[in-house]
Structure 1
C-alpha cells in the first residue's frame, strides 16, 4: 500500500484546504476523500488505498467530532495520535491532510444548523445513541462542502453510517460517488477499530465473539435457515454466553432500509448487525447474509 510520493501537506484551516483542493482540480485532478477521526489503523489504510486508486488528489481529514458523541461517551479519551496518523497517511499516498480544530469547524460552538436523516438514523445505533447520526451527517456534510470531493470512501464496518450518508448524498443531490470498502479484520476475525486499543487482554480475546457469532449466522442462512428471528436469537445467545460481553443489540435487517426482517426468503439483501460492551468499550460489527430466493428456500 506504500506509494513513493512527497509527504502530505497538513493544513488546519478551511481556507487552506479549499485553496489546495481548488489548485488540484484546476490541474485536472479528480478529488478523493477519506474522512476519519484519527487513531488510524490498517483498516483506515485500506480506505485510503482504495480511494487512492480512483483519484488524482487524495484528501484525508483528521477530526474528532464532538457533536457525534453523547454526554456519557468517550470524546475526551478518544485516542489522538497525530504523529502516527501523519506517518500512515504518508505511507498511503495521501496528498493533503485537513486537520481542523473544533473552533475551526464550529466557530460559534455546536452549530444551530444540522443535517438529519430520519428513519435510518433512529434504529440500531441511533436507538442506543440518539444524537449520534445527527452529529455524523452534519459534520460529513460540512466536510463534503469544504473538500468538494468527486469520490469519498467509507468502511462497511460502520454499515449503518454508510447507509445514512448514502441517503443524505442521494436526497441532497450531492455530486459525490461513495466508495464502500469491506471491513478489515485482525487475524482472529475482530473488526479493526480505533476503540480496540481500549480493550484489556481478556476483553480483546472475548471481543472475537462478535465476528464468530456473525460468521455462524451467515453459515446458518447458507445452510437453509430462513427465520430471521431464529438467526437473531442465535446471535444474541452466542454473544450473551461470553461472560465479558454485555449485549446491546443483535439484529437481522433489510440491508437497504435497516428495517427488521421476519423472513429471509424474499430475495432482499439482508444484514446481521451486533453491538456489545466489553468493560467500558462498545464495539459494533456486521455481515451481509447470503441472499435467499423463494426457489432456493424450496430446494
Structure 2
C-alpha cells in the first residue's frame, strides 16, 4: 500500500467518563437518517452535531458511505475529532472490491479503499466489513486469493477484517476453514434472507441484527433483547451461544473476544433505541455530559 504522510488532526477533548461495557461495542449503521431526528436526536439539533451526539449515546457506528464510494481523508480526520476517545467505527469496504465476478482481480480496488484515509481513525478504527452480493457463490480457490489480498495493517494501524457472505454456498466447512486460516470474522445475521452461522472464526465477533419491528419502540422486544445480551456475553467469553446455528459443533478454545453488534436494517428508525436498550443490558451508560 502507498505510504501516507498527511498530518493527523488534534484529538477531540476527552469526554466525561462513562460506564464501560468492556468487550462490547453496540451501535447503528451511519448517523444521518431523517427519521432519527424525530425519535433519537433532540429537536433542533444541527445536523452537523449528529455524529457527536450519536457517539455519546452509542459505543460504535458502522460507516456505510464507504461501501458506495471513496471518502476523503479529511472526512476520517473530522470523524475522529468529533467522537469520544473510547468510540469505535466499523468501516464498510468498497463494493468495487467485492461485487465482481473474479475476486482475485480486486487488488486495485482493495488498495484504493485501504489507502483512502481509514488509518486517520487511529485507535477508533474497528473492523473492516467486506460485503458480498447475495448472488456471489463460494469458490474456495478464488475466495482464498481474495483473502490473501487483505492487508494486516495500513500506516501503522492494525486492520481486522469481517466477511459478510450472503449466498448459501458459503455454509460450508471449507469456507469456515478459510475464514479461520486468515483470522477473519464472519458476520452473524438474524435475517432469514442470508446465511446465518454463529461459528467463531476470529478473535472478535461481528453481528448485524436486521429484524427490528416498527411496532416495537426498541425494535426488538424485552425478551429478545435479554437473549441478545446473553449471547453477547457468551461471545465475549469465547463461547458460541448454544441457541444459534453453527456449521461446526466443536467449541473453539475459550478466550475473551471483543463483540460488535449493529442494529442495521429492518425498521431502521428503531435502530438507535434497540442499540441503547442492549447497551443498558450490558452495563453501559452514556457520559454525564452526553446531552450537553
Please, what TM-score do these two structures have when normalized by structure 1? 0.28
Identify which of structures 1 and 2 has the higher relative contact order when contacts are C-alpha pairs closer than 8 Å and 6+ apart.
2
TM-score by length of 2: 0.28
Structure of larger gyration radius? 1
Structure with greater helix percent: 1
